[in-house]
């Protein structure tokens, strides 16, 4: 709790500076940490009310709910690495991360540091993933690797950043045009730009 309280009191610029430590661009931990940076950068552009309560046409959850959902997936991943089982379906809703932008930004900084600290040998470890495939069916068990799950959470975070970017735009917030764009899309855009 002390870390959370300390992080929540930091300025947005300090939070973003602390997130700047990089791993190799080919490292899935770096990709996930960078996606958390993009998520935080988007949240800094919205005001506290837009973050916690703002709804745009066609969206059913405010930015903070998407932010919390993304952090929940990172937490499931990190907890799963520690226990050997990941379950993305078990999430706490309505937490401070969802309603308080400072808490969300502090969580993003904390989780990015924790993701960067995943030991490299752990990436090749197998892990069990529990998932619901239907609300009426029991949880299914799947075997995966830590690296694959880091990549899944990365893509999931990018996807929610895209949703948040669209919603923010509809509320008059100008997100970074690259926010929420998958690496394959950015690479395709760069290839088309070079071809012109």
Query: Using the 8-state DSSP alphabet, how is residue 133 labeled?
Result: S
Give residue 6's pLDDT. 45
**Cβ distance 120 to 33 under 8 Å?**
no
**Percentage above 70 pLDDT, the chain:** 84
Give residue 18's pLDDT. 45
User: Domains plus CATH for the chain?
Assistant: 2-7+29-187 (1.20.120.450)
Give residue 58's pLDDT. 60
Mean of per-residue pLDDT scores for the chain: 84
Higher pLDDT among residues 19 and 72, named by residue: 72
Q: Are strands 140-145 and 126-131 parallel, antiparallel or unpaired?
A: antiparallel
Task: Please report which confidence band the pLDDT of residue 25 belongs to, taking 50, 70 and 90 as the band edges.
Answer: low
Alpha-carbon torsion angle 143, 144, 146, 148, nearest 10? -170
User: Which pTM value belongs to this model?
Assistant: 0.83
């Amino acid at each position: 709790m002390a870390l959370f309280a300390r992080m929540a009191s930091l300025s947005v610029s300090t939070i973003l500076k602390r997130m700047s430590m990089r791993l190799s661009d080919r490292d899935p931990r770096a990709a996930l940490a960078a996606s958390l940076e993009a998520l935080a950068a988007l949240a800094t552009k919205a005001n506290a009310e837009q973050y916690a309560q703002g709804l745009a046409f066609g969206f059913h959850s405010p930015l903070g709910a998407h932010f919390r959902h993304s952090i929940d997936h990172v937490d499931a991943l990190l907890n799963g690495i520690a226990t050997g089982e990941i379950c993305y379906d078990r999430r706490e809703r309505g937490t401070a991360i969802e309603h308080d932008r400072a808490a969300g930004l502090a969580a993003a900084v904390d989780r990015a540091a924790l993701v960067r600290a995943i030991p490299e040998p752990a990436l090749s470890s197998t892990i069990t993933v529990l998932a619901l495939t239907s609300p009426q069916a029991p949880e299914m068990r799947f075997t995966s690797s830590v690296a694959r799950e880091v990549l899944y959470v990365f893509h999931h975070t990018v996807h929610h950043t895209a949703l948040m970017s669209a919603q923010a735009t509809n509320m008059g917030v100008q997100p970074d045009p690259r926010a929420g764009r998958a690496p394959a899309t950015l690479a395709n855009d760069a290839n088309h730009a070079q071809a012109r």
